[in-house]
Amino acid sequence: KRINTTYKFINRLLEKEISQYSNGCLIDISTELLDNQGQLAIQYVTDGLHINDAGYKTISNNIRNEIYQ
């Protein structure tokens, strides 16, 4: 839980920083990787922490969708 709390805090800081730029964009690459309790979903991790191929594919698709929308 500490990792997720730190992660969320850092994302808020990044959002605040990026919002200062008219052409800035923060792409959400994590929401689809989380389960209903806000933890990394088991299907996207190898050991509860490190993302597996399915996780990287989801991240890639999120970035691609944001760029080409």
The whole-model pTM stands at: 0.73
Q: Are 30 and 7 in contact (CB under 8 A)?
A: yes
Q: Which residue has the tokens 């990026």?
A: 18
Greatest mean pLDDT among 8-12, 54-58, 62-66: 54-58
State in Å, rounded, how far the first CA of the chain is from the last one: 33
Q: pLDDT for 27-62, tens place per residue?
A: 888 888 888 888 889 999 988 778 999 999 999 999
pLDDT score of 3 = 61
pLDDT score of 2 = 53
The tokens describing 12, both together, are: 């808020």
pLDDT score of 1 = 54
Distance CA 54, CA 46 (A): 10
Residue 45: which region, alpha, beta or left (left: phi > 0; alpha: psi -120 to 50)? beta
